[in-house]
Amino acid sequence: MTFREDGQAALEWAARYLEHVNELPVLARVAPGELTAQLPASPPEQGEPFANVLRDLDELIVPALTNWQHPRFFAYFAVTASEPGILAELLAASLNQVAIVWRASPASTELELRVVDWVRQLLGLPEGWHGHIEDTASTSTLAALIAARHVTGRNVVVCSEHAHSSVEKDARMLGMELRKVPADEELAMRTDGLDLSDVAAVVATVGTTSFASVDPVRDLAERAHAAGAWLHVDAAYAGSSWILEEERWSMDGVELADSLVVNPHKWLLVPMDCSLLWTSRPEEFREAFTLTPEYLRTADDAFALADYGPALGRRFRSLKLWAVLRCYGAEGLRAMHREHIRLARLFADLVEADPDWELAAPLRFSLVVFRRRGSDEENERILERANASGEIFLSHTRLNGRYVLRLAIGNARTTEEDVRLAWEVLNR
């Protein structure tokens, strides 16, 4: 293999993919098992040129992709792998750091601590918090619950009925009891009559997955702490918006959190996977994970990042976060957030101006939750037809039993034209 030639071909392939992704169907048009049937059942005995991989990428893989880089990807939470982030992943793979302990990769360890602190500053979070990178919010929240159980000696987790499914899954994996609390008409967790006396952790969400609704973090934090419980804030999606002063209304009380997760791979231009986990109680957090006995601790403990989460081996994820922060600057990131929030407002206005449609939940951040006035079946058919068109991809959720549509704006390539086209496709 000639690295330069094959690399040039791979780079050209990636460049063309990004240039033409808007011409591909957003949602994959394959049936389950269709790709499997086309892939050889057994591995090759002899090696092949890398060009064969690129050929099969075109012929087999691309048709089975749901194109998350497409400007009209509006499902789940839309994301972007930006160019600096992509190239940083090439570099990280080339360096192949395995940061098990500080000396195994001083670069990866110290850059991670530094750039996660850069994000802390950008979001206006308190000084002194310890932050590191996990793969996903599922893992970050898992780590937070482990710390909460360790610190409190209790075994109950409380979250809103609209909290992300990972809270339930994490509690299940840990053998913790989960109590889901009903939400109010603003889709925020109710706090009246909340008994937290036997609770290890309260998980408050800023920007729920279904509706981008916001739990009353300050109230929950005060109640949690009064009862001796840990407060974890899941702001995986919406937390990135705190780079805008005008979005910090949703941050009220977050400074009281014991731990917080925000995912730059969601709305901060970083390719999968990059989930930031901060704690305001690093000493206690670390005690839940470390195998190093007290008497062996040294000044380097802050550098032992494996002591703040489940994995020992850690790849060089900070490189892509660094590249993105450098190449966009705070200014560039703020501009993208403002534009996405403007586009969501614009789409919400189109919905509200049309008597056949309605907003189903308050507009928050860059997520519009809406429905056509009519039956669930009608809305379901509209979504199916729209997604089958290949032109747009939206997902749905249920609110009080009713089928509602979600349009999530979060791809850096999305323009006003794309948003208007989405509205047109839905109205066909």
Q: Do 132 and 113 form a contact (C-beta atoms < 8 A)?
A: yes
Report the residue from 24, 26, 65, 125 that binds its own copies according to the rule CB under 8 A. Answer: 65
Q: Considering the complex, state which of residue 153 and residue 182 has its C-beta at the smaller distance from its own copies.
A: 153
Give me the helix-helix angle, 106-123 and 318-353, nearest 10°. 30
Tell me the two tokens of residue 285.
Answer: 């957090």
The DSSP line for 257-270 is -SEEEE-HHHHSSP
What is the smallest separation between the CB atom of 174 and its own copies, expressed in angstroms?
6
What is the smallest separation between the CB atom of 86 and its own copies, expressed in angstroms?
4
Q: Do 387 and 394 form a contact (C-beta atoms < 8 A)?
A: yes
Instruction: Please tell me whether residue 423 binds its own copies under the rule CB under 8 A.
Output: no
Site for its own copies (CB under 8 A): how many residues? Answer: 124
Q: Phi first, then psi: what are they for 234, rounded to 5°?
A: -100, 100
Report the residue from 24, 142, 277, 412 that binds its own copies according to the rule CB under 8 A. Answer: 142
Instruction: Please tell me whether residue 126 binds its own copies under the rule CB under 8 A.
Output: no
User: Tell me, what DSSP letter sits at residue 59?
Assistant: I
Instruction: Please tell me whether residue 10 binds its own copies under the rule CB under 8 A.
Output: yes
Instruction: Please tell me whether residue 244 binds its own copies under the rule CB under 8 A.
Output: no
Give, for 14, the enclosing helix (H) or strand (E). Answer: helix 3-20
Buried b (16+ CB within 10 A) or exposed e, 266-294: bbbbbbbbbbbbbbbbbebbbebbbeeee
Report the residue from 219, 255, 273, 376 that binds its own copies according to the rule CB under 8 A. Answer: 273
What is the smallest separation between the CB atom of 141 and its own copies, expressed in angstroms?
10
**Interface of this chain with its own copies, residues 388 to 407, rule: CB under 8 A:** none
Q: Considering the complex, state which of residue 218 and residue 248 has its C-beta at the smaller distance from its own copies.
A: 248
Tell me the two tokens of residue 153.
Answer: 């000696």
Q: Considering the complex, state which of residue 94 and residue 427 has its C-beta at the smaller distance from its own copies.
A: 94
Q: How many C-beta neighbours within 10 Å does residue 110 have?
A: 15
Q: Considering the complex, state which of residue 220 and residue 268 has its C-beta at the smaller distance from its own copies.
A: 268
Instruction: Please tell me whether residue 312 binds its own copies under the rule CB under 8 A.
Output: yes
In one letter, which amino acid is 73?
F
Q: Considering the complex, state which of residue 243 and residue 363 has its C-beta at the smaller distance from its own copies.
A: 243
Judge residue 219's burial from the number of C-beta atoms within 10 Å of its C-beta, 0-12 exposed, 13-18 middle, 19 or more buried. Answer: middle
Instruction: Please tell me whether residue 327 binds its own copies under the rule CB under 8 A.
Output: yes
Report the residue from 272, 346, 359, 399 that binds its own copies according to the rule CB under 8 A. Answer: 272
User: Tell me, what DSSP letter sits at residue 58?
Assistant: I
Instruction: Please tell me whether residue 136 binds its own copies under the rule CB under 8 A.
Output: yes
Q: Considering the complex, state which of residue 211 and residue 308 has its C-beta at the smaller distance from its own copies.
A: 308
Instruction: Please tell me whether residue 4 binds its own copies under the rule CB under 8 A.
Output: yes
Tell me the two tokens of residue 287.
Answer: 């005690």
Q: Considering the complex, state which of residue 46 and residue 400 has its C-beta at the smaller distance from its own copies.
A: 46
Report the residue from 28, 194, 346, 359 that binds its own copies according to the rule CB under 8 A. Answer: 28
Residues 6+ apart with CB under 8 A from 348: 359, 363, 368, 370
For the beta sheet containing 259-262, the strands, ordered from the edge strand earlier in sequence to the opposite edge, are 130-134, 275-279, 259-262, 230-234, 201-205, 156-160, 177-181
Q: Considering the complex, state which of residue 291 and residue 353 has its C-beta at the smaller distance from its own copies.
A: 291
Instruction: Please tell me whether residue 48 binds its own copies under the rule CB under 8 A.
Output: yes
In one letter, which amino acid is 21?
V
Calpha distance 423→347 (Å, rounded): 7
Give, for 52, the enclosing helix (H) or strand (E). Answer: helix 50-56
Q: Considering the complex, state which of residue 256 and residue 311 has its C-beta at the smaller distance from its own copies.
A: 311
Instruction: Please tell me whether residue 169 binds its own copies under the rule CB under 8 A.
Output: yes
**Interface of this chain with its own copies, residues 96 to 125, rule: CB under 8 A:** 96-98, 100, 102-107, 110-111, 113-115, 118-119, 121-122
Instruction: Please tell me whether residue 346 binds its own copies under the rule CB under 8 A.
Output: no
Instruction: Please tell me whether residue 166 binds its own copies under the rule CB under 8 A.
Output: yes
Q: Considering the complex, state which of residue 138 and residue 279 has its C-beta at the smaller distance from its own copies.
A: 138
